[in-house]
Amino acid sequence: MPTPRQARASADGARSGVSSRSKRAEILAIATEYFGEHGYEDTKWADVAAAVGIGSTALYHYFESKLHCLYVIMADALEGFQGDFERITSEHDDFLDALVAVIRSGWELTDHEVLRLRLLVAEQGLVGVHRRSPREEEARQLARARTRELEFSWGTFLTRGMEQGILPEADPRLLTRAMLGLYNSVWHWFRPRGTLSLAEVADFYMRRQLVLLGLSPDLLDGARPATRARAVSGAKRARSAPRAGTASAATKRAR
């Protein structure tokens, strides 16, 4: 038999016509805002319930715990990143076009998406900690698997640039982690509506991402022909120098 609070929550849900799926999405969205703005540890599960407009007990119909909710937020976000990466890179036959497009897309963010990135970066360490709860562990494993999938996709993509002579040869796994590490470092300190705009930060960091890959930052300004020549020339010089490993073995290292 439901408690009076559960009965009221059920009745309220029926009257509003809100489906279980949409309510779950609302909880995830509000939890992301609270975790990202105030910090995961400092946010009370009851505060999320109040913001959603349901009792604390009703939250457990959707998530076993605050940590379970966090893992789901992470897994869903990583699934979105992977989908965007695959869509953007498949839309361009030219490697440099695809690279610039996918780098730019990473900075085209709403305030909510910035908060979500802050949350993912701040709590990434929790993905490596085994959980005893089956539901928490399942969500954790999913977030971990999607992190690896995204890293592998980036490594495979960068290998393609090496094989075409556009990028200097390097370990694609390390290069991927360097790229993502540079990008993720921003979300430790950047705040929406702070002293620096996202556009200013994006322009600064996108150019550094290209430099990290051995390319000219002028790619962002459309300087394609000269930049391509320099990139290919640089890659040829890299191939002529002694170097451990080749791009042909890069996909294996990316795994």
Q: What is the pLDDT of residue 222?
A: 83
Q: What is the pLDDT of residue 14?
A: 42
What is the three-class DSSP state of 44? coil
Q: What is the pLDDT of residue 224?
A: 66
Q: What is the pLDDT of residue 103?
A: 98
- The CB-based long-range contact list for 89-96 (8 Å cut-off, 24+ gap) reads 89/157, 95/160, 95/161, 95/164, 95/166, 96/166, 96/215, 96/219, 96/224, 96/227, 96/228, 96/231
Query: Residues 6 or more apart from 187 whose CB is under 8 A from it?
Result: 114, 117, 118, 120, 121, 122
pTM of this prediction?
A: 0.80
Q: State the Cα angle at 251 between 186 and 143, rounded to 5°.
A: 50
Q: What is the pLDDT of residue 233?
A: 47
CATH 1.10.10 fits 1-62, yes or no: yes
How far is the C-alpha of 135 from the C-alpha of 141, rounded, in Å?
10
**Per-domain boundaries in the chain:** 1-62, 77-254
How far is the C-alpha of 216 from the C-alpha of 111, rounded, in Å?
30
Q: What is the pLDDT of residue 241?
A: 46
How far is the C-alpha of 34 from the C-alpha of 66, rounded, in Å?
12
Segments in the chain below pLDDT 70: 1-18, 224-255
Q: What is the pLDDT of residue 141?
A: 98
Q: What is the pLDDT of residue 242?
A: 45
Q: What is the pLDDT of residue 55?
A: 87
Query: Residues 6 or more apart from 58 whose CB is under 8 A from it?
Result: 5, 6, 9, 49
Query: In 10 A of CB 162, how many CB atoms?
Result: 23
pLDDT, tens only, 101-145: 999 999 999 999 999 999 999 999 999 999 999 999 999 999 999
Domain covering 77-254 in this structure, CATH number: 1.10.357.10
How far is the C-alpha of 62 from the C-alpha of 28, rounded, in Å?
10
Asked if 79 and 146 count as a contact pair (C-beta separation under 8 A), the reply is yes
How far is the C-alpha of 57 from the C-alpha of 62, rounded, in Å?
10
What is the three-class DSSP state of 94? coil
Report which of 15, 141, 2, 116 is spatially closest to residue 61, judged by C-alpha positions.
Answer: 2
Same fold, 1-62 and 77-254: no
Asked if 239 and 231 count as a contact pair (C-beta separation under 8 A), the reply is no
